Amino acid sequence: MFSKDKFFIFFVVLGASLYASESRAADCSGVNEYPDWTGRNWDGGPYDHAKAGDSMVYQGVLYRANWYTTTVPGSDPSWATVGPCSGEPNPVPVPNPMPNPVPNPMPNPYPGEAGYYVDGRNLYDRCGEQVVLRGVNEMVVWSAGKDGSPEFAEIAKTRANSVRIVWTSEGSASELDTAIRNSLNHQMIPMIENHEATGELGSLPRVVDWWVRSDIVSVIKKYQQDLLVNIANESGDNNVNAPMFASAYKTAITRMRNAGIMTPLVIDAPTWGQDIDVLQATFAELIRHDPESNLLFSVHTWWNDPSGDRVRRELQESVNLGVPLIVGEFAQHAVYLCDQSPFDFRTLLTEAQRHSIGWYAWSWGGVDNADCANQGSFDMTTGGIFGNWEETWGQAVAVTHPASITATSIRPYSIVNGRCR
């Protein structure tokens, strides 16, 4: 309850803070002056916004952005006043002493899209909060109910903020709707992926045919503000080169945007998800092609990398290039030769945390994996039950490693509360 005494204290404190902000000199050296923007949406793109924490000077006053914004500094709640650059009175009018305690949603940087968006190499929710994906894969479409129940409730016990939902045209639009809703009910961002072009770039157009069906588009639009769309799982074998890949995905992007799908689109690497070099060679071209400039790129680290040297090197290179990268699948070893091709997943967890790169482990275990079943299972759990760990790697990824899901996952405020702060 807001008492009269608290109300009086509120005004005293507010008045003091306003006085301090008007009289304190701010160090504006080296700070961009509006409209010399600080942020851009991809390497080589125009500087056209400020993101949370960026500082700008306008009319001799220093401001700091509260979230992603394209407005004039000081003109709305997306900016906080730091103070005049030289100590003279603040020329900007003193704000209303009773500002809205809950900021309005951030100005939408992508016309027609009001959900998650990619800025630089990072993902943000519709409120401007950065989101680092931490979750698992689950083969929901091949489960008994095709609805994520009870699997999502068990996955949520890890504190995952997202789940990658394996799907195909075997599932109806109504069943997809239910699976998405159940994911959101457990406060996990649903990433839907179509599994029907695995290893086959030539099947990508057929997968896009499914995405642009009116009943599927209707489901996507229904949940658009909280949804990620992974166009095709691992589309392309080891014969796919960068020009082939870019050409195929440009067509896919155009068709899906024209159908009204405005979510972030997630693009898997070829060579069954493993060829990060192709992603590094094509990401900028594909982002420029996308009218929404709203793409994530996903590598599946089914690599023989027992020392972690490759994962260390490739993640660092991707960061240096500015690739908006996630790791869409990984386990304790590669698929080829199974336990004879170990993968240092611990290094992946550590390096991904250091670079704020999202990831999804493969896979939860509600639906059994056939690959490598007797040579180091890819099932994290037995029967999809939290705590019933089938493999030690699954327990480490989920809860015990210092960079596990439980240790590092943060659910965005909007997914927990259904609104911005």
**Do 183 and 155 meet the contact criterion of CB atoms below 8 Å apart?**
no
Q: Out of 44-53, 138-147, 311-320, which region has the weakest mean confidence (pLDDT)?
A: 44-53
Q: Is the pLDDT of residue 13 over 80?
A: no
**pLDDT above 50 for 135:** yes
Any idea which of 6-10, 231-235, 303-307, 356-360 has the lowest mean pLDDT? 6-10
- Cα angle 280, 281, 283; round to 5: 65
For residue range 67-123, list pLDDT tens digits in order.
656 678 888 666 789 889 975 434 333 333 333 333 333 344 433 347 999 999 999
CA angle 248, 254, 255 (to 5 degrees): 90
Residue whose C-alpha is closest to residue 331's, from 349, 351, 350, 313: 349
Antiparallel, parallel or unpaired: β 162-167 and 134-138: parallel
Residue owning tokens 């709707």 = 177
Q: How far apart are CA 269 and CA 250, in angstroms?
A: 14
- Reply yes or no on domain 24-86+96-107 having CATH 2.10.10.20: yes
What global pTM score does this model have?
0.75
CATH match for 117-417 among 3.40.640.10, 3.20.20.80, 3.40.50.720, 3.20.20.140: 3.20.20.80
Domains 24-86+96-107 and 117-417 equal at CATH topology level: no
Q: Is the separation of the CB atoms in 180 and 190 below 8 Å?
A: yes
pLDDT at 301: 98
Average pLDDT value for the chain? 87
| Tokens coding 302 | 């089914």
Domain spans in the chain, listed from the N-terminal domain onward: 24-86+96-107, 117-417
Q: How far apart are CA 224 and CA 288, in angstroms?
A: 22
Q: For 90-104, 246-260, 290-304, 319-333, which range has the lowest pLDDT when averaged over its residues?
A: 90-104
Is the CA virtual torsion 347, 351, 353, 358 positive or negative? negative
Query: CA dihedral defined by 202, 206, 209, 210, rounded to 10 degrees?
Result: -130
Contact predicate 187/417, CB 8 Å = no
Tokens standing for residue 45 = 């793109």
